[in-house]
Structure 1
Amino acid sequence: MRLSNLADYAVITMCQAAMHCGDGRVSAAELAAETGLPVPTVQKLVSKLTAAGLLRSVRGAHGGLQLGRPAAAITVADIVEAVEGPITLTACIDHGPCDFEVGCSMKPHWPIINDALRGALAGISLAQLRSPRPITLEEHPA
């Protein structure tokens, strides 16, 4: 499994937005400049992340973007789901019956696998990602 570029960029954008905690607000253009991502991509991400409540947009002379909740309360799962939708490894879980459903022994197991994957991503907060040192297995056992 591999995250889409958009989900990857969303994590990068949120990490950068988190760096501005306590410093007021930041614009999408500033986030794009700081991350090196294209402005249209960051604008698209900001729209999705705002709709999910992960970012908050404030209008006015001192407006801009800020985290929608504390960095410790935002997880990688939240960010990925804001961009990609629910975390699932197979289409049969979301999209109903498949061509191989009759006799499929895996279908009952996929929700457990999906929950484990989501749980792993939900166990990593934006606050942890802001740290200059990598997360260790001791801090986040797989």
Structure 2
Amino acid sequence: MRLSNLADYAVVLMSAAARQCGSVPIHAGMLAEQTGIPGPTAQKLVSGLARAGLLVASRGSGGGVRLARPAAAISVADIIEAVEGPIALTSCVSEGRHDCSLEGSCKVQPHWGVVNGAVRGALAQISLASLAAAPKPTFTRPAPALAGDEIRV
């Protein structure tokens, strides 16, 4: 499973917005500059994320975008669904889709809802706040000395 570039960029852009703006508006151009996302793509994402209710946009002097709710209340699943639509690993579970040659005889199709729910549930557990936070340092243990290795103190 792989996210589209647009969904990936949306997560990156929202993470930057969470780090930068809080309740102070920031321009899409500034988010593009900070993230390396091309300006037109950042603008398209900002518009879509605002339509989805994840960002609030204001025009005029002092305008820009800000998070519509606290970063802790926005999940990775929310962001992906704002760009991609409902999280579904196969198209056969979407209502109105009848483009599978196995439709009618597939014994797995009734179970895809459970799989999709599990994936969405896992992504819903990851908050935007956790993505916006500085990464925690990881401790790596030195490799144990092998017999015959010289140890200097």
TM-score normalised by structure 2 residue count: 0.84
> 1:89 and 1:123 mapped to 2: Cα distance?
18
Distance apart, 1:96 and its partner CA: 3.0
Query: Does 2:116 match 1:118?
Result: no
1:96 is aligned to: 97
Distance apart, 1:62 and its partner CA: 1.2
State the AA in 2 paired with 1:49: L
Q: How many residues align?
A: 135
Query: Does 2:55 match 1:55?
Result: yes
State the AA in 1 paired with 2:97: G
State the AA in 2 paired with 1:129: L
Flag the 1:23–1:68 CA change in 2: closer, same or farther, 3 A: closer
State the AA in 2 paired with 1:102: G
Structure showing greater Rg: 2
Q: Which runs of 4+ in 1 moved over 2 A?
A: 95-98
Deviation per residue, 1:7-61 (Å, 9 max, x gap):
0000000000001234611000000000011000100100110000100001221
> 2:23 and 2:82 mapped to 1: Cα distance?
25
Query: Does 2:34 match 1:39?
Result: no
Deviation per residue, 1:67-122 (Å, 9 max, x gap):
01110010000000000000000010114333212221101110000000000000
Distance apart, 1:132 and its partner CA: 1.1
Flag the 1:23–1:100 CA change in 2: closer, same or farther, 3 A: closer
* RMSD (Å), alpha carbons: 1.5
Instruction: Extract unaligned runs of 5+ from structure 2.
Output: 139-153
The percent identity for this pair of structures is 58
> 1:19 and 1:57 mapped to 2: Cα distance?
17
1:128 is aligned to: 130
Query: Does 2:55 match 1:68?
Result: no
